[in-house]
Amino acid sequence: MRHVRTITENECNPQPGQGRPRPSLRGTGAPPGTLTAVPQADQTSPESFPGPPRPARVAPVPLAELARRLDADDPGAVLSGAAAEASATGITHDSRAVRPGDIYAALPGARLHGADFVAQAQSLGAVAVLTDPGGTERAAATGLPVLTVPDPRGRMGELAVAIYGEPGRDLLQIGITGTSGKTTTAYLIDGGLRKAAEKDAANAGKALTGLIGTVESRIGDERIKSERTTPEATDLQALFAVMRERGVRSVAMEVSSHALVLGRVDGCVFDIAVFNNLSPEHLDFHPDMEDYFQAKRQLFTPARSRAAVVNFDDEYGFRLLGELTEEGRPATSFSAEGHPDADWRAQDVEIGPLGSTFTAVGPQGQTVPASAPLAGPFNVANALAALTALVAAGIDPYTAAEGIGAVPGVPGRLERVDAGQDYLAIVDYAHKPDAVESVLYAIRKVTEGQVHAVLGCGGDRDPHKRLAMGAALARLSDTAVLTSDNPRSEDPLAILATMLAGAAEVPAYERGTVLVEEDRAAAIAAAVARARPGDSLLVLGKGHEQGQNIAGVVRPFDDKDVLRRAIQERTADGAFAAPSAPTAHSVPSAPHDRTSAAAEKAGTAETPDQADNQNR
Known binding-site residues equal: 95, 178-184, 229-230, 256, 264, 461, 485-488, 541, 545
How does DSSP classify residue 427? E
461 phi-psi bin (left φ>0, alpha ψ -120 to 50, beta other): beta
Nearest to 94 by CA among 85, 84, 106, 86: 106
Question: CA–CA separation, 313 vs 257, rounded Å?
Answer: 21
Cβ atoms 130, 103 nearer than 8 A:
yes
Is 181:378 a contact under the CB 8 Å cutoff? yes
610 neighbors 179 (Cβ within 8 angstroms): yes
DSSP code string of 101-140: TEEEEE-B-SS-BGGGGHHHHHHTT--EEEE-HHHHHHHH
Q: How many angstroms separate the CA atoms of 536 and 125, rounded?
A: 55
- What is the per-residue burial (b if ≥16 Cβ within 10 Å, else e) of 435-454? bbbbbbbbbbbebeebbbbb
Task: Enumerate the known binding-site residues for meso-2,6-diaminopimelate.
Answer: 461, 485-488, 541, 545
- Other CB atoms within a 10 A radius of the CB of residue 571 amount to 12
Cα diameter, the chain = 84
For residue 593, what is the DSSP state? Answer: -
Distances (CA, A) of 436 to 14, 368, 451, 457, 610: 58, 31, 13, 11, 9
Cβ atoms of 519 and 483 closer than 8 Å: yes
- Between vectors from CA 121 to CA 118 and to CA 125, what angle results, nearest 5°? 135
Q: Is the dihedral of CA 355, 358, 362, 366 positive or negative?
A: positive
Q: Report the alpha-carbon distance of residue 8 to residue 80 in Å, rounded.
A: 8
| 209 in Cβ contact with 249 (< 8 Å) | yes
Written in H, E and C, the secondary structure of 499-561 is: HHHHHHCCCCCCCCEEEECCCHHHHHHHHHHHCCCCCEEEEECCCCCCEEEECCEEEECCHHH
Distance of CA 542 to the CA centre of its chain: 12
Question: Which residues fall in the annotated binding site for ATP?
Answer: 178-184
Question: Strand ranges (DSSP E) for 272-403?
Answer: 272-275, 308-311, 331-335, 344-351, 356-361, 367-372
